Amino acid sequence: MAEYRKVYGLGAEFDSAASLLKAAEKIRDAGFSKWDVHSPFPVHGMDKAMGLGKSWLSAPVFIGGSTGLLTAVLLTTIPSFGIYKLIVHGKPYDWRTLPAFFPIYFELTVLFSAFTTIFTLMIMNQLPKWYHPVFNWERFSKVTDDGFFLVIEARDPKFSETKTRALLEEIGGQHVTLIHD
Amino acid sequence: MADAVTLETPAELKRAPLVANDRKFNWISDKVAYIVESPTPLWWWAIFLPCATLALIGLLCIGFQISNGVGVWGENKTVGWAWDITNFVFWIGIGHAGTLISAILFLTRQKWRTSINRAAEAMTLFAVICAGIFPGIHVGRVWMAWFLAPIPNANGIWPNFRSPLLWDVFAVSTYFTVSVLFWYTGLVPDIATLRDRAKSRMRKYIYGIFALGWRGSNRQWRHYEMAYLLLAGLSTPLVLSVHSVVSFDFATSILPGWHTTIFPPYFVAGAIFGGFAMVLTIMLPARLLYPQLDDLVTRGHVDKMAKIILLTGTIVGYAYLMELFIAYYGTNKFELFTFLQARVGNPLHFLGIGNASKGWYNWAYYCMMTCNVLSPQVFWIKSFRTNYVVVFIICMFVNVGMWFERFVIIVTSLAQDFVPSSWHHYSPSRIEIWTFIGTFGIFLSLFLLFMRFLPMICMFEVKAVKPEADAHYHPGHEPSTGPAVGVLGAPHETPATEGHH
């Protein structure tokens, strides 16, 4: 042991999506809170197995979309009704002209919603984050190929290096490894 | 199970698996990433260099046009829009198939989309880039293109927010931006695969940056899936709106042949029609060059896309006929002239029946009709839909036909409008022709670069539609290990995949 390295947690590998799901249910029932599963693709039913609710990403997107709509309304009406009244075809500018702005309302609503989706996704997933302790585990590079992993963090109050290791092995985890920070 | 029971119970007809030959997850990553990781094949250079040369010629023509003015094109005072806007509408329409595959087929849970959506979305982006060139250079003084922006220009004049041309600026730029975001979001987990497989430090570093540190955790997937659903939900009305807005450029004018309420749905159907033809035009050769993808992009995919071409082509045919009927029914003599003389003409004249047509571009109308309405009808027959050669030939017809559709709409209406004294013939100049050919060079060069550097097939989505990806999958009914009997072939003992959760 050359130097002391902080323990991040314990990782275990599972052989399929189905066994990972069963393991997640058991870890959830054991009362752990700081843990996660990693898979090459989203596994259906995993949110429930981990005790997670529906993602609330849509709420900020609604706000973003509303901001886009408001921006479009202001962008079209302020110049058209106030700053620069451009009379084309002799058609006056009053409320009856609003339908002609609908394409712009729609496009800006979509544009702002899409940007909000991406930025909120980045914030909620804490991305970009180029360093993460799990990358120190050699086997973990299989996660984007065909590996299924379950990692329990050391900062979980129920974490114990020996007991958690035994639990992970008991529920079918293979290659149970201590991950360092 | 006892044999007697099997004999008495009729076999359950199962869906063909989406991934043929029951390939493992690892096989999928291997085969798809191999395209990017292997040394550049010779054929790639043999295709890329001519395409890049064409792209360069196109860019030179654009430079020539910018330095000399739009006078180097064949446009005149009567035909002020011609190949430039034809090409713009042609390319923007092609983009629509990519968004349809990635968004609408996602919302409708069409799982077969997973192996083609990445390439189709890339095609969308490159087509929109090609499309964006034309309105940009068509303004003539490109350094004043910023007048298109919704800000007061150098003279303090605001743009007209009621103009469909301004709506177009909003629609096309939003469409491109959202498509890029959607495409990149889908790419992140796959770039992470390339990062984790990378052998050299350089590759690991570059792919690592773009993978953003993705680690496939379920706390990430949870938000990721919601984000993907939201982007699909946003892109679906967006893709329908873009070509509707493009059609408003014509429909809100008073020119006979443009002033038509059927335009928005007719343009959208045409865009999807032409887009799917272009998807197949580039996917079929790509599949030929990478035979290892046969198990991912199967005959079933080609068959389904051919069906969409048949459906949308028939909708487009209905729109063509409905335009004629409304022209007849409306009894507006200018509209009657445009449709019945300038477009349809008298096809029986060469048999000595009736009077000669007064239209100048009747041949273009028949090109459009034959390629768009008649040629896809062969797809009623299944053996043609699954025959790659037939599908490819029909797609080429559709590509040509959809270009002619825009040419017919724009040029026949403009060249022969209300007053015969202002009629003017139009023919493209050489610069115009090479600019258009050049955009094919740009499009194909970009696509070839995409094939070399990014995974052409969405690996994680393909893995997710495999039966083993289902958390309730029972290894009990073991999938067959032998070679598949053809994807559309006889029912297999492989478990059903599509429409199954």
**Which of A24, A118, A145 is opposite residue B25, by nearest beta carbon?**
A145
How far is Cα of residue A178 from the mean position of the Cα atoms in its chain? 25
pLDDT of residue B468: 80
Token representation of residue B78: 């009567």
Place of tokens 């106030």: A82
Give the number of other Cβ atoms within 10 Å of residue A65's Cβ: 22
> Does residue B489 register a pLDDT over 90?
no
pLDDT band at B349 (very low <50, low <70, confident <90, very high): confident
pLDDT band at B433 (very low <50, low <70, confident <90, very high): very high
Tens-place pLDDT, residues B157-174: 898 888 999 999 999 999
**Domain locations in chain A as residue ranges:** 7-51+128-180, 58-124
CA distance B153 to B39: 51
By C-alpha distance, the chain B residue nearest A85 is: B158
Tens-place pLDDT, residues B186-240: 999 999 999 999 889 999 999 999 999 999 999 999 999 999 999 999 999 999 9
**Domain locations in chain B as residue ranges:** 24-466
How far away is chain B from the Cα of A2, in angstroms, using its nearest Cα? 26
Q: Are B424 and B79 in contact (CB under 8 A)?
A: yes
Distances (CA, A) of B56 to B49, B90, B123, B135: 10, 21, 20, 19
Token representation of residue A172: 């079918």
Distances (CA, A) of B112 to B116, B119, B221, B299, B304: 8, 14, 21, 11, 9
* Cross-chain Cβ contact B185/A125 below 8 Å: no
> Does residue B475 register a pLDDT over 90?
no
CA distance B219 to B197: 23
CA distance B437 to B313: 25
Question: What is A44-92 written as a DSSP string?
Answer: TTHHHHTT-----THHHHHHHHHHHHHHHHHHHHIIIIII----BTTB-
The CATH fold assigned to B24-466 is Formate dehydrogenase/DMSO reductase fold (1.20.1630)
Which chain A residues have a beta carbon less than 8 Å from that of B237? Answer: 106, 110
CA distance B179 to B183: 6
Q: Are B432 and B392 in contact (CB under 8 A)?
A: no
* Cross-chain Cβ contact B197/A146 below 8 Å: no
Tens-place pLDDT, residues B233-284: 999 999 999 999 999 999 999 999 999 999 999 999 999 999 999 999 999 9
By C-alpha distance, the chain B residue nearest A131 is: B213
Which chain B residues have a beta carbon less than 8 Å from that of A55? Answer: 222-223, 225-226
Which chain B residues have a beta carbon less than 8 Å from that of A179? Answer: none
CA distance B168 to B258: 16
Q: Are A2 and A137 in contact (CB under 8 A)?
A: no
pLDDT of residue B380: 95
Q: What is the mean pLDDT of residues A128-147?
A: 89
Q: Are B451 and B28 in contact (CB under 8 A)?
A: no
* Cross-chain Cβ contact A103/B171 below 8 Å: yes
Q: Are B141 and B210 in contact (CB under 8 A)?
A: no
Q: Is A69 within 8 Å of chain B by CB?
A: no
Closest CA to B279 of B297, B258, B264: B297
Q: Complex ipTM, two decimals?
A: 0.92
Token representation of residue B312: 């949308």
Q: Are B101 and B117 in contact (CB under 8 A)?
A: yes
**Which of A61, A86, A103 is opposite residue B158, by nearest beta carbon?**
A86
CA distance B297 to A80: 52
Residue B300 CB contacts under 8 Å (≥ 6 apart), including other chains? B16, B18, B112, B487, B488
Distances (CA, A) of B153 to A103, B241, B257: 22, 27, 33
CA distance B477 to B494: 8
Closest CA to B116 of B95, B131, B130, B97: B97
Token representation of residue B481: 């290990």
